[in-house]
Structure 1
Amino acid sequence: MTTAPITEMTDRARDVFRLVVENYLGTGTPVASRTIARLATLNLSPASIRNVMQDLEEMGLLAAPHTSAGRMPTETGLRLFVDGMMQAAEPSPEERRAIEMQVTEGGPIEDALSAATLALSGLSACAGIVMVPKREPVLRQFGFVALNEGQALAILVAQDGTVENRVLDLPPGVTPSMLTEAANYLSNRLSGLTLRQAQDRLAHELAADRRALDGAARELVDRGLAIWSTDISDRPVLIVRGQANLIDDNASADLERVRQLLDELEGKQEISRLLESALAGSATKIFIGSENKLFSLSGSSVIAAPYRAGDGRVVGVVGVIGPTRLNYARVIPMVDFTAQTLSRLMR
């Protein structure tokens, strides 16, 4: 079986193929020749359309499920359609506002990334995904602001200008002057280091000079570094939201595929490895079904786009996972716009 490129297909074959794919992506069910014949854009009889659909099946672009007289695109056919025939529709003003409002609400960058997955999931009816490469910030400055007798706000300013806050439980006996002393000590001694390097230097310096800080201030410094180190190590490499969207009206006919896909989503490390291939690219990538080994059993598609830091470096990937019959023309630009929105946020 060979697959003809678009240029080798007749105009009639291209028209029928495009209509079959568009109808299938809209309904999720095989498309019959009578359905195509009823469309005003073609002046062909159902018999003529059946002949063309048979030719397209022999080319490997369409398939006929044994339970239906209609045809549906193969993964090869979907790839041909996406790469050479699809007319992408830009996100509507409402979709743009929905994405921007959720992503730019403020707070830590992790909140924006999680919001991006929720926005994509809700708008695309797929599962939203975002990959966050693990990284340790390079420290510039620390600060402590008392909240009450037993808690303070620990403030970390990184060299790239990002500011993050965490609530810290204070050891007994800490005074406002100790908060200032600990913050100055951390900022003066540890600026320019990663958290791991800062912990190593702190342990060495305090062991060499126990008089550098008194007991309560020293414990405060230890806790201040520990809360950030634990937080960095626990940050998710991959955020997935909206898995319930994958169980739609058509799922009951294909429960095994849905179960397999949900199992695959649990294996976040495997998905992360898949998305890493999008880190090296400059444009949106589309993986359809068995083109990727991870989703070969569930027959799922992945659309992923890289987002960038202020210096132009690709720092992560955002996208969606859904059935191969998802609306590529609408979802691909939506994923691309979300990646652009995250890139603007990180400047």
Structure 2
Amino acid sequence: MNIVTKEFGIINGEKIYSFTLENNNGMQLTCINLGCIVTEIKTPDSNGNLENVVLGYKTVEEYLENKTFFGAIVGRVAGRIANAQFEIDNNQYFLPKNEGNNHLHGGISGFNEKIWHAKPIEADHAVGIEFSYSSIDGEEGYPGTVKLSVTYLLTNDNEWVQTIKGTTDKKTLLNVTNHSFFNLSGNAKADILSHELTVKSDQFLELNDQLLPTGKMLSVEGTAFDFRNGRKLNDGRLSEHPQNRLAGNGYDHPFLLAENEQQEIILLDETSGRTLTVETNQPCVVIYTSNQMSDEFTTSEGVQTKKYLAVCLETQGLPDAIHHANFPSVMLEPTSEYKSVTKYTFGVR
């Protein structure tokens, strides 16, 4: 097992480094200390060909200029907060409005744009990086100083284990996720519409026309949102369901997980034979099939971005939970610790 460190770029005179983790099977995960961004994951197909299965850019400048959140840690709160405001203990907090009238993915300069401290980790059966960052009281409008750590471990079982921890000195909101865009075809040589997804989920959140949860939890039964026995992602593009149409002919929805850490999410690309199994301790996964992706950007492989080029599987708490009493809380108290664990296992069928 091995870790290779290289200079990736410079921001305001500060060097950004890339860290390539490699296991004994030749699988590689590369990340940078800007936003804990995963820039590349190279995994074998059924013929043993190593190819990249996430979308990324070649330069620091592209990550900062293109607001696509490729591979980044987003927060303090992933997803949208309605009207960019919330209340805690009769105190009103106002956040930057960076998507219409709402607050998205932590604001104008969220965790995805911060420079994190990085420390390599070497264990018997894994190599990794531990990132740390202190988000000061009032940053992007949020109360409390939050101390965070994000650990990426790569094991010899082709597992990427992601652990996010946080503590605060004042009651605040914290709901963090990784925003990697997956495409198991390899080097984004095809879109993800023929990928098959299986999810242990009986319900998904209804969204309004601003893609904010209405508070209703809808049954997946009899709809294109029923992934319990596996279905092609193309079904969402073709579906006449008003929620698929609302999201831009596809998915951009939180699915409530019926089980945790029990192979609850499986993605398959039959052509390459690659599989991705996702297990998490989080209550939901936001499935986004890149329905809104523009064609303005070019990935690190030289592929022009477009709709349906990749799928996000964002494990997290429920979006806009602060405004819905029936959702699990994303409030963090000074007496407790936030801990999110997600394991991505790459294989072949």
- Shorter-chain TM-score bucket reads under 0.3
Greater C-alpha Rg:
1
TM-score, length-scaled by structure 1: 0.22
Query: Which protein is richer in strand relative to its size?
Result: 2
Choose between structure 1 and 2: higher helix proportion. Answer: 1
**Taking structure 2 as the reference length, what is the TM-score of the superposition?**
0.22
